[in-house]
Structure 1
Amino acid sequence: MIDVLKNQKYRVFLITDFLSIIGDGLFYIALMTFATSISKNGYAISLVSISETLPLLFTFFTGLLADSSTNRYKDLKNIYFIKTLIYLVVALILGFSSSLIALIVICILNFISDCLGRISIGICSIAPQMIFKQEQWEDSSALYSTNQQIAQIISQSIGGALVLYFTFKNIAFINTGIFLLVFFIFIFNKNVILNVYKTYTKDSSKQGNKNVKQELTDFFKLKNNKSYFELFQSLLSITIINSVLSTIPSILSIAFINFNTSFNYSIFLTFLLSGNTISTILGSTVGIKITKNKNLNRYILYANLVSIMFFISISINKIILSLIMSWILYFIIGIVNPKLNTLFRKTIPIEEYAKITGAFGSFMSIGSVLGSIIYNLSASKNIFVFTTSMTIILTVYFIYTVLGKKEKRKE
């Protein structure tokens, strides 16, 4: 892993990704806190939650755009310039208004920014394959994941502190500065980026032109391909788990508000998110070593079971227990993600990597969107209705999955 870190080309991607995650993390905490300051009934929090989860639904399309990029350096540079402008506008809005209308506009801008971020992720996703030999892919992926998790911890920790001492407008200006810095890093490393993608650019020109309908048709045909069987098998399960993950910050926020505690909300949110991130790091480092060569689907099943326990703990007003369940769930996710990514890299050809992983991501993210919708319709009005509904859905699916596995063993 040290050899991977020493690679100058890869460090550019690590640094820019690190800064981007810090920027997004800072703004997320600020936006959630801003939402709670506007409304205590949960609707404002729902808006933020939906704006954060909807971009995940479009990862097929953003992946398609990423794969079709003919000048990856130019596209990366332009994306971060636009993101800089977006958060500059957000800062100006926050300087003039603190209304629900302002929040709606900011959520729309945040949605656009996140979609652009998804395109940049797609563009950068094949960098390890372009830079390293195959035997180094696993180390590069592990380093990339660790880099992301550390950035999340820093952003969540700093974000909680900034909310206490800075205005929302100033935090948006800080975020603007972060994305401007990323923009200049790409400018100053133009030759590095061009060198990384020059081989891929030649290959991508051979793909021909397909419309979105054809691309979707080709994707669904993959389910008949034996090499993609395990990926499709995991699709529904991870979709359901994502519905849980998407609601955890929001549902715990509502539970926290209803608990009528004098404890500062931004500190609580930072504590929750940092705990989730640390748990994910432990899962992807310690957990992945313990579970080496173990089946992916087993840990997806464990995640389902812990999700049930999470919603039960919310239903009985045990916030501490629900926090623990959240952290355990993220520990398991830390195990699941590397296993899933390894499966992706082994299965998907590099010239279609962003598109196909984006397609899987889009369908897996349906759960995130559905979770947000169900939350928006029920939890903001009655948290018990939401947690009960999710508990029933997850329990039924868990039983169905277990019985299905038993039937397969008999066969």
Structure 2
Amino acid sequence: MINFLKNNPLFSKVAGINLFSKIGDRLFYTVLLTIAASLPKGNVAVMIVSVSETFPILLSFFLGAIADKKKNKVHLLIKNSFVRTAMYLCIGLLFRYSYTVFLIFLMSLLNFISDLSGNYSSALITPFTKTLVQVDDMEQAQGIISMTTQLINVLATFAGSILLAIFYRSIIAYINALIFIIVGISYFLIHPKLITVEKNITVNTNENTLPTIKKILNYYFIIVPI
């Protein structure tokens, strides 16, 4: 794996930045659940948090189909990172108010938008992976991404629990915002190389989004007739 990463430096940077952003996806989850469970109407609050974390995953098919049709993917990656920064800065400010179910709803909504932007960014990155890696190495590249993503999710959730015991909850929101600032700056630093790569990516703007989604679902589940 080490040799593969050394031989594909730009892929390694892009994958590394995307994985780093996934820390922000999971880091705050424990905080939200802890606050939700402590409220008088804890069951409702926990359900709201769970939906905000789960629903972006369910929308991944739609996001992938939309991302495939987008031009200027590099600029969208940078913008998404700063949008996510703004989301967690807002969450940090919300901690000034008393904890209520409505407050959890607002935090979960911002967290939902951030996670949605994160999944959209991952979909934007997929065409770069296919271009940066040789066809024969694609299986290994996807294996590395899958394995490290699962590892990051576990470690980020664990790190969130530790930080919750050390810092105020608002500080963890600001740490998340800092993560996405770093992600945005990292994409900006390599964006000239990515723009060059993007010129070789074919953007299919002719096919409608809905048929594309059906094809994706049919490919993975073989249940949706086209």
Shift, 1:14, TM fit: 2.1
- Partners of 1:111 and 1:15 lie apart in 2 by 23
Any conservation in 1 of the 2:62–2:213 contact (CA below 8 Å)? no
Residue 124 in structure 1 maps to residue 125 in structure 2? yes
Q: Which residue number corresponds to residue 2 of structure 1?
A: 2
Mapping 1:4-403, distance limit 5 Å: 4-6=4-6, 7-39=8-40, 41-200=42-201, 203-204=202-203, 207-210=204-207, 214-217=208-211, 219-220=213-214, 228=219, 231-233=220-222
Shift, 1:104, TM fit: 0.7
Change (3 A) 1:100 1:232: closer
Any conservation in 1 of the 2:41–2:101 contact (CA below 8 Å)? no
AA matched with 2:106: V
- Partners of 2:93 and 2:212 lie apart in 1 by 44
Change (3 A) 1:100 1:41: closer
Change (3 A) 1:218 1:62: closer
> In angstroms, what is the RMSD of aligned CA positions?
2.2
- Partners of 2:215 and 2:84 lie apart in 1 by 35
Per-residue CA distance 1:353-402 (angstroms, 9 max, x = gap):
xxxxxxxxxxxxxxxxxxxxxxxxxxxxxxxxxxxxxxxxxxxxxxxxxx
Unaligned runs of 5+ in 2: none
Shift, 1:55, TM fit: 1.7
AA matched with 1:94: F
Per-residue CA distance 1:239-284 (angstroms, 9 max, x = gap):
xxxxxxxxxxxxxxxxxxxxxxxxxxxxxxxxxxxxxxxxxxxxxx
AA matched with 1:58: L
Any conservation in 2 of the 1:4–1:10 contact (CA below 8 Å)? no
AA matched with 1:216: L
Change (3 A) 1:197 1:217: closer
Shift, 1:59, TM fit: 2.2
Structure number with greater CO (CA < 8 Å, separation at least 6) is 2
Tell me the SS of whatever aligns to 1:30: helix
How many equivalent residue pairs?
Answer: 223
Any conservation in 2 of the 1:94–1:169 contact (CA below 8 Å)? yes
> Which one has the largest radius of gyration?
1
Per-residue CA distance 1:333-359 (angstroms, 9 max, x = gap):
xxxxxxxxxxxxxxxxxxxxxxxxxxx
Per-residue CA distance 1:194-232 (angstroms, 9 max, x = gap):
1332200xx21xx3445xxx4324554789x9xx4xx33
Tell me the SS of whatever aligns to 1:70: coil
TM-score for the superposition, normalised by structure 2: 0.89
Unaligned runs of 5+ in 1: 237-411
Per-residue CA distance 1:58-112 (angstroms, 9 max, x = gap):
2233123211211011000000010001100010001333222111111111111
